[in-house]
Amino acid sequence: MASTLGNSALWLSFLFSVLQFIVSTRNNNTIIIFNRIAVTGLLASTLASFFLLMYCHVTSDFAVINVFQNSHTTKPLLYKISGVWGNHEGSMLLWMLVLSITNYFIFKLYNKNNYIFVSKTLQIQAVIIIGFLLFILITSNPFETMSVVPSNGLGFNPILQDPALAIHPPLLYIGYVGLSAVFSMSIATMNSENDAGTPWYTYMKPFVLAAWTFLTAGIALGSIWAYYELGWGGWWFWDPVENAALMPWLLSTALLHSLITVERKKSLQAWVLLLAILAFLLSVIGTFLVRSGILTSVHTFALDPTRGIYILIFIGLLGSYSLILFALKSKNFLGKNYFSFFSREGSILVNNLIMVIVCGSVFFGTTYPLIVEIFTSNRISVGEPYFNATVIPMIIPAILVMGIGPLLSWGKVDSKKTLKQISPSILLTVIIIIIFFLSYRTYNIPGLVGIGLASWIISNVLVTLFLNIRKESKKNNFTVTSTIKHFNSMIIAHLGVGLLIIGITGSSVWQEEKISRMKVNDEKMISNYNVVFKEINEVAGPNYLALRGSFWIYNQNNKIITVLTPENRIYPITKNTTSEVSIHTNLLRDLYIVLGDGDNDNGWVVRIYYNPLVVWIWIGVLVIVIGGLLALKNNLNILKLRNL
Amino acid sequence: MRKFFFISPIIVFLCIIFIFFYLLIIKNDPSELPSVLINKNAPKFETLSLLSKKKFLYEKEFNNDLKIVNFFASWCVPCSAEHKYIDQLSKEKGIKVIGINYKDDPKKALQWLDNLGNPYSDVAIDSDGDIAINWGVYGIPETFIVNYNNIIQYRLAGPITKKNYDTFYKQIIKNK
């Protein structure tokens, strides 16, 4: 019953999206009423079908194939709900839902002055929505039923039963879909050749900010999941699925910064229009790579060629149209005012180029195995060494520029003044590196470079903050307070990047790993800690059985710090086994223990990791996200204030 | 230089899309995963037979005929869907099919065979999935074509469907 309703709601969404497409092609102000019907109708029917699928999952309606394959009566309620998007069909429906919500927000921008721009944007958005709806209806309908009703479901992949993973896909989808709005706006701008002089960049910016902020949070949650759940001791594996999210993130980072230049100086317009197209195309290509099974990764389960072909045709059409349009129209958006590289906009352009090159090399590394396969029919993986060797050297100059960029002025730069401004940060960075070197006596060059870069960013942030405050106190009649607020969101986000670099450096350069077979009462030293394997017990969880090891951790002074209890779980329903990591965190390091296979006679395979500074990765990302949200709020206020 | 900036995105894009199309359609179906075991000996195993409850007679089953090896389970929905094709190959085309019952309850598996019919010359029990690991199975159903010399010739990951049945059958004929 619910499934039939859900299916009808999905078809209704399809009708509304077709209506939206037809209505938006008319450049007439009165048509807004029909557009309102289409947009709100689309939102309502998509919401209905999404919640009907959720209803099927919560009530365990096993006649629905999607519920049967992905759910089980013993599953906790939270995971029954997150199970809705924990599989391919449901996640596509979630994608659709986010699309129609974004669609609604674009519609809300409508006013007398911008109706051509907004309706053109809604038109492209309708094409994207129709594309994805047909994809769902033809190849991945979550409401398909079967005549035989099984008594119970096939359970759920227990490794996916994790709160971080439950909210990770929605966040990523908000990011990807936000980029779809940016894409549509870019097409709308080029299509109308911006006759009306609409400030398209001002409309684009909140969507870019939202997409970027949510992508950042989504990628971080994926990392958190990998770190806590996979039990491999690391948090980033250069897996195709991770790269698929990283590439749009890199481009939207570039986009975010060059949009500021467009807003201020009206330069780089063509470049921004191109980035907007590429960022969304890469999001969809990422989905294609993951869903088609063309690349095999730890994350993919489904192999379905028809889905791959459909998405590929869709990307092909969308990409060809937008990029041909770009080739034809973009010369109208070339700026006439050139600027020096040694300026605010110059530093932004340099970092933009680096981001694009990094993105290109990640794309190359991700698809290289496919290209090799054409010629040799071997499947290879370039993996971590390639990415570390290409990405890290390119990112280092970007970070150096990033530190100094906010201190440069727009247009012309007084180099003496700038040198004076950055001298405290140079001094501070050198002092920190020397202190660090003397207190830890480390000759590890990558480690020292990482610490140096982090202190370079953070000290520059402090200098910028100091200069801003001084400037404000000098001019008491300073009117545009929003400018200061805007700067503050940038300062917060950059501070987050500094903290993130500390975490990345610590955890990748000074990680220690001890893999050994341990029997009960065995001891193992790692860093300055002594790990004692005290006991191993059987325990029963709500839907699993587990072997739980007890490891007592002592510090140098032989004082007990904590007891870590990693588990080896078996889920009888799916016969899956997982290992639960046990971690002790403080601001300086994580102690991370994984219990592997074994028995009492031969001992158990135990992996112990000492991961310095990992927590700063999560803190750094949190700070970045706060900065992003603050900037988003400010930009929405600007839209309101200027009554755009 | 300027022209290059305008035109290069579409050129690069079309090249990438072309490569993907080539891989996806012309080159191969991703369900035909290249297996490291292609042209290698079929991995041996020792286990019980589901049908006789005695030792699975590996030497007898992997004899000098062409045979296909099908990994299945009663809990696997696509396995039920592909079963009629396995049945067809076994009963109409007279091809020897060896079943490997993956992580299943033997009672349910027998019940399943009773309901849907038994196309298998014998069924090996793989209760903990060890055989599947040795054969490099990603997920079930998966089907292998093994020639008279017990060399693996072809691997199909995923179910046999109406669409791929003919190609699959051609592969069998080719290796006969």
A116-125, A291-300, A592-601: the lowest-pLDDT one: A291-300
Stretch B16-39: mean pLDDT, rounded?
68
Q: Give residue A367's pLDDT.
A: 83
Mean pLDDT of B9-20: 89
Averaged pLDDT, A342-369 = 90
DSSP A488-524: HHHHHHHHHHHHHHHHHHHHHHS-EEEEEEE-TT-EE
What pLDDT was estimated at residue A377? Answer: 54
Q: Does B18 touch chain A (CB under 8 A)?
A: no
Question: Tens digits of per-residue pLDDT, A60-69?
Answer: 888 888 888 7
Q: What is the pLDDT of residue A276?
A: 96
Of residues A337 and B18, more confidence is placed in B18
What number of H helices and E strands is found in chain B?
6, 5
Angle at A84 between CA A79 and CA A88, to 5 degrees: 120
Lowest-confidence range among A172-181, A206-215, A597-606? A597-606
Please report which confidence band the pLDDT of residue A7 belongs to, taking 50, 70 and 90 as the band edges. very high
Give the three-state DSSP class for A603: strand
> Using CA atoms, how far apart are residues A273 and A261, in angstroms rounded to an integer?
13
A372 pLDDT more than 80: no
Of B10, B24, B75, the CB nearest to A324: B10
Residues in A closer than 8 angstroms to B75, CB to CB, are 154
Distance from CA of B63 to the nearest CA of A (A): 30
Looking at CA atoms only, how far is residue A278 from chain B in angstroms?
Answer: 9
Average pLDDT over residues A26-31: 69
Q: Cβ contact (<8 Å) for A331 and B157?
A: no
Which of B1, B10, B161 has the most A C-beta neighbours within 10 Å, making it the best mutation to test the interface with A?
B10
What is the rounded CA–CA span in Å between residue A259 and residue A464?
Answer: 21
* Residue A429, H or E segment: helix A415-440
Query: Does B1 contact chain A (CB < 8 Å)?
Result: no
Which pLDDT band holds residue A314 (cuts at 50, 70, 90)? very high
Q: Give ∠ CA A165-A171-A175 in degrees, rounded to 5.
A: 140
* Tokens matching residue A361: 């090399």
Pairs from A545-551 (Cβ < 8 Å, separation ≥ 24): A545/A569, A545/A570, A545/A572, A546/A570, A546/A580, A547/A595, A548/A595, A549/A593, A549/A595, A549/A604, A549/A606, A551/A582, A551/A593, A551/A606
Higher pLDDT, B169 or A29: B169
B24/A292 touch (CB, cutoff 8 Å), yes or no = yes
> Would you call A419 an interface residue with chain B, using a CB distance cutoff of 8 Å?
no
SS3 (DSSP) at B139 = coil
Instruction: Among A281, A326, A575, select the one facing B6 at the smallest CB separation.
Output: A326
As for the ipTM of the complex, it is: 0.82
Q: Is the pLDDT of residue A298 over 50?
A: no
Tokens of B121: 């010359």
* Selection from A109-123, A204-218, A253-267, A423-437 with the highest mean pLDDT: A204-218
* Cα–Cα nearest to A405, from A335, A471, A350, A453: A350
CB pair distance less than 8 Å for B77 and A65: yes
First to last CA, chain B: 59
Residue with more model confidence, B36 or A171? A171
Most A-contacting residue of B4, B19, B21, B23 (CB-CB within 10 A), to test interface: B23
Q: Which residues of chain B are within 8 Å of residue A316 when distances are taken between CB atoms?
A: 17, 21
Asked if residue A296 has pLDDT above 60, the reply is no
CA distances to A113, A115, A200 from A197, in Å:
10, 12, 8
Contact of B7 with chain A, judged by CB distance below 8 Å, is answered with: yes
Mean pLDDT of A158-167: 74
Q: State whether residue A613 is helix, strand or coil.
A: coil
Residue A596 touches partner B, C-beta closer than 8 Å: no
Cis bond leading into A369, ω under 30°? no
Residue B18 has a CB neighbour count (10 Å cut-off) of: 11
Distance CA A540, CA A569 (A): 9
Contact call for B10 and A327, based on CB within 8 A: yes
* E strand segments, A137-233: none
Give the β-pairing of A603-612 and B67-72. Answer: unpaired
Q: Which residue of B has its CA nearest to A146?
A: B77
Mean pLDDT of A177-205: 89
Element (H, E) at A291: helix A269-291
Contacts of A579 (CB under 8 A, 6+ apart): A231, A566, A567, A568, A569, A594, A595, A596
Q: Which helix (H) or strand (E) holds A219?
A: helix A200-225
pLDDT given for residue A246 in this prediction: 94
Question: Which carries the bigger pLDDT value, residue A562 or residue B5?
Answer: A562
* CA A188/CA B114 separation, integer angstroms: 62
> How does pLDDT run across A91-136, given as a tens digit for each residue?
899 999 999 999 999 999 888 888 888 989 999 999 999 999 999 9
Q: What share of chain A has pLDDT > 90, as a percent?
A: 48
Q: Which residues of A192-209 are buried (b: 16+ CB within 10 A; e: fewer)?
A: bebeeebbbbbbbbbbbb
The mean pLDDT of chain A is 86
- pLDDT tier at B82, thresholds 50, 70, 90: confident
Phi, psi of A529 (to 5 degrees): -115, 145
Inform me whether the C-beta atom of residue A640 falls under 8 Å from chain B C-beta atoms: no
Angle between helices A383-404 and A344-376 (to 10 degrees): 170
Work out how many CB contacts closer than 8 A connect A with B: 81
Angle at A446 between CA A443 and CA A449, to 5 degrees: 95
- Judged by phi (left if over 0) then psi (alpha if -120 to 50, else beta), residue A137 lies in alpha
- B18: pLDDT strictly greater than 90: no
Q: Measured between alpha carbons, how far is A89 from A142 in angstroms, rounded to an integer?
A: 5
Residue by residue, DSSP assigns A67-115 as HHHH--TTS-HHHHHHTTSSSHHHHHHHHHHHHHHHHHHHHTT--TTTH
Residue type, A592: Y
For the stretch B40-70, pLDDT in tens is 888 888 889 988 888 888 888 888 888 999 9
Of A294, A367, A378, the CB nearest to B30: A294
Contact: B157, A303; criterion CB under 8 Å:
yes
Query: Which residues pair with residue A604 across a beta bridge?
Result: A518, A598
B112: Cβ contacts below 8 Å, ≥ 6 apart: B74, B80
